Structure 1
Amino acid sequence: LSSCFSALSLLPSRCLQSQILCFYRLEANTVAQRFSSPGYPKGYLPKSRCQWQIRASEDNAIFVTFPFFHIEDDCSDDFVSIYDSLSPDDSQAITEKCGQRPPSNPLAVTSSGNIMLINFITDSVVQRPGFEAEYKAIPKSKVKTCGGVLSENKGVFTSPLYPSFYPPSVDCKWTIKVTVGKKVRVKFTMFRMKEPGVDIRVCHKDYVDVMGTKYCGEMSSLDLTSETNVLDVSFHSDESFTDKGFSAIYSAFDPANPCPNKFACASGICIGEELQCDGWNDCGDMSDEMKCRCEEDQYSCDNGLCKPKLWVCDRVNDCGDWSDEKSCSCGENEWRCGDGLCMPQDVVCDQKMDCEDGSDEASCKTSPGICSDFSFKCMNAQCVNKVNAQCDRVNDCSDDSDEANCACGTRPYKLNRIVGGQNAELGEWPWQVSLHFLTYGHTCGASIISAKWLLSAAHCFVTNRNVFIFTHSQCYSGMQDQYKQDGVERRAIKKIITNPDYNQMTFDYDVALLELSEPLKFTNTIQPICLPASSHVFPAGMSCWVTGWGALREGGSKAQLLQKAMVKIINDTVCNIVTEGQVTSRMLCSGFLAGGVDACQGDSGGPMVCFEESGKWFQAGIVSWGEGCARRNKPGVYSRVSKLVDWIKKETGI
């Protein structure tokens, strides 16, 4: 290959006219050295074909990390491929990557021997900064050394070189020995061994083997328990494609009392006793909901599960076998409208609004002229009867307005799935904002809905019918740690608009808009969230996320690091009953009836967001009010954004 200079200003005209061909030979030693993609950081050109051949002495391997990595997000256009050889042989491929990675999750790879090849291929006309890489030689013994005997009663072990990618062609075996009479419990806090073309039911390439079962792929939860006081864990990587690997915690426990003061799931994990037989699958394998004796306030499903009686006839399949819905007022050949009224089954999709709310024509492709609360309203006044038509990558409106304004709800950084983590990673929730008032520090949360507008709760600003004067207040975007300002954009608040119907007593219409003094610059850690259409449906039972720097427990101090919690949307009937009739149509409940997970003081005004199949995140709620924090049968109450979105758009012009 012909050599071309890496500085764009010095690129020979011959290379600019066709392909940019770059070839480098590098010698790795124990001192770290750097190289970068052509044109970095201004941006690489399309049709680049670059190679870096790296060699080290025979007793060393090569370790390469990428402190900065930002390539076009489509790997069919632009990508970096890395090989455990000096030729681009797929059987020796270590990995192939594109997209952009946060500083907290850099790409880092290791060779099995003393050679490595890095290819950089670009076809896209979309210009991105490229990458910067650091390489050095490390002893082969460090690469190949892993496993051993673990004799303490608790500890941590990881795949080789974790959190960097594990090297190819490695075999490890850990033998965990705990006190006689006890058993070994292993909990994987991170598990990722993904490889193209691998059937994760077979795991014939890279895997972890525990008690004769192989595990591979990416798992959000993996907890295993031994049969004796000794447990062997084996790890194998073949010659091609590596990944992050795993990190695991092991501990000894008494089989007679595996979870002191807690419930023991069949998988071996422990959960609070109050979560057993509460209707939610807290264990992940339903073992906490099996063999339950239903209480007076619970419904006994045909499959043996117990669910709250409040969930019966709410049009949600809570039992899983529809038994909680089969004995409802409507007959076998009848349709139940959203308001509970029963209609003959043949009224569905007959191009007439038989139900008052139009639910019989929702999601009917044969009802183009029907407009109801369930219809998406196009800019040209056309109605689309399709659930959540907005930003689903399908043009349903004749004017394509359902796919307009969809540059939102994305997380630029590629993030690892950390099992059970509560601290948010950098860039994980790029629409989250921290509002600071005078010298009090963080007081409320907000979300970015455009470069100039933030969405928050009215109760953060209104007291005794007066609006706080925010002359000395600031909002911080792109923040993860309250004590760190790197990459954070600070803005003053120019204007606060609270909903004119906001009621301080009931918290109805608890929504506020903040206009910034100057627009935000969107980055990897600062992005807007998608606003749902008024017809957007967030069904009961859907898992969503609430974030903020609020108190970690009721009456506690505020968090330094941004916190995240998964919550479930609770159906409106249950929501109204557990709040004793205080919920209006502008509110929704989310959390866990058993308690334990909730928003808290200081989270007010922050977003509750839900991920849709379209690949977009939408804001379903604004943290509004609740009785205490994470109390049983006292879920958090949120302002329902879909019922307030028309006012939001009218005031902001978004």
Structure 2
Amino acid sequence: MKTFLVCASFFVACANIPKFALAAPCQGIITVPSDHTIITSAGYPTSYEDYTFCRYVIQGPENQQVRLTFSGVFGVEESPSACAHDKVGVYDPEIASTASAIAARACRPSNSAYTHGPYCGQTAPANAITLRGNRAVVEFCTDYSGTDKGWAIQIEFIPLPTVAPWIVPVITLDKVAAINVLQSPNYPLTYNDRQVAQYIIRNPNRNWIIQLKSKLFDLGSDGGDRLVVLDVTNNVTRTFYGVDQSPQELDYLEIANSAEVHVNFITDASDTYRGFIIEVTSLGCAPNLLACDNNVGCYHPNASCNGVDDCADGSDEKWQYCAPECGSRRRRYCQQTFAALANYRDPTCWQPRLRRHNHLQPMDRLSASHCFTDRTATIWYPAANYRVKLGSQSLDKTAEADGGIFMEIEKIICHPYYRPIDHDVCLLKLKETIPFRKNIAPACLPPQDEPIPPAGTECLTSGWGTRVYSGSASASTHLRQVYVPVVSNEECNRAYDGEINERMMCSGTAAGGLDTCQGDSGGPYVCPLPDGRWALQGVVSFGAGCGDPGVPGVYARTAYFTHWIVDTIAANSN
């Protein structure tokens, strides 16, 4: 068999190796020639050397992807914890998060930086490793404590998978309030790498506002995949990325005076995620106006319930809006959403903005005690520091621009037994009576000591909090809501080491992903009643992380405090 000598400036040793195979001890980088089909550790299959820190850089033809298969015997020194002695691992350069690890010296990054591996012991990975592109970096690290047989990896280059031709969906907004849906390619599976998908939205009536509202938006955190929204009529482009990018994910977008909008979804070569679900609808009224029930005409919220019909159908004066029954949801303004997805954006009529409060009487609201004190509950902040915003969906608009109102707080009354996380409820007495109307309505209060709804009951929580548990994360500018199932207190205590008591209740899922987060404190957790109305069963209190698997969110249980709430309101009524 013909042999030749392979050396590099980083090598401390060179070896004669058979053609189409590469094996050499090293302390640096080896560029694998494109005609080599196998790489092995030095001395394979007898014994490799101590103190090896080596990288094998593989690059194949364009429009191909690398496939690596461990073949033959495999032996890499084991250790009790995660390949702490010797290890072989693989980086995928097409994945942006590996860039810093690849740029560092070999064997310096942590094991978590590997795309595949690390591997050690006596059993090789059973399945082939397919990289996203035509490049791969194999890293081999050994210490001084022992050696083994080593490893061999077969290298193949295979064609990149083809993506089916994209058929451009065209949505025509020909009816006010009709909901159309845009989904990412392949949904509910992950979308494709290296794809451009376009969606066209046509709006024949330019007086109508085009509204885009995401039910799901998950493009990852590396910024490689993006959604570009082009207002063709006005030549305005907006670009949206995944979580923690700037600008952040698409949440809620209104486009005025436009006849056509193009939504372009562009993905890179690395990492795919769940994608998006975006509702597209047309609004016949400006954001600060309410639509008549028959969608013919608009009126200002301040014109509600004043004895004058501003709508031909009289809906601005309906008693159901002006003197509402508690817990009734309003179609369009409080519409149902899918129960299986996180981050819903439909408004809830009983959701105000202070740090989230819930209606009890025309001048009272319920919130969480920890919103009004420091972490030690020794310093309490005065009512003058706060205002309540009602009837609003957006935080980046004034109340007038959003159809909401601000109300002043006369008094904050927190439970006398409050200590951090326990008895976490406060009553807010407002200076004026709440003006109920189509976009402002009360939730019901449960009877004292009513049992916690059965585990698995789908209840609704809402707020303007962050999407992730991070000090740098931004709050949402638009109201979100999500259905999260009730978790029994017994199960919840497994995650909280017995801290959950009868004054609390919990919600969450084993898989995680559905939860409240920072900035949602004091918000409502409402559950359905048999007659179709909704009762305030909980007030957002605390949690470990946000939506972590198997870690529920915790609420102050309203039914424990009903007598205190009613008695406190009576004692403080003028």
Query: Greater CA radius of gyration, 1 or 2?
Result: 2
Q: Which has the higher contact order (CA 8 A, sep 6+)?
A: 2
The alignment's TM-score, normalised by the length of structure 2, stands at 0.43
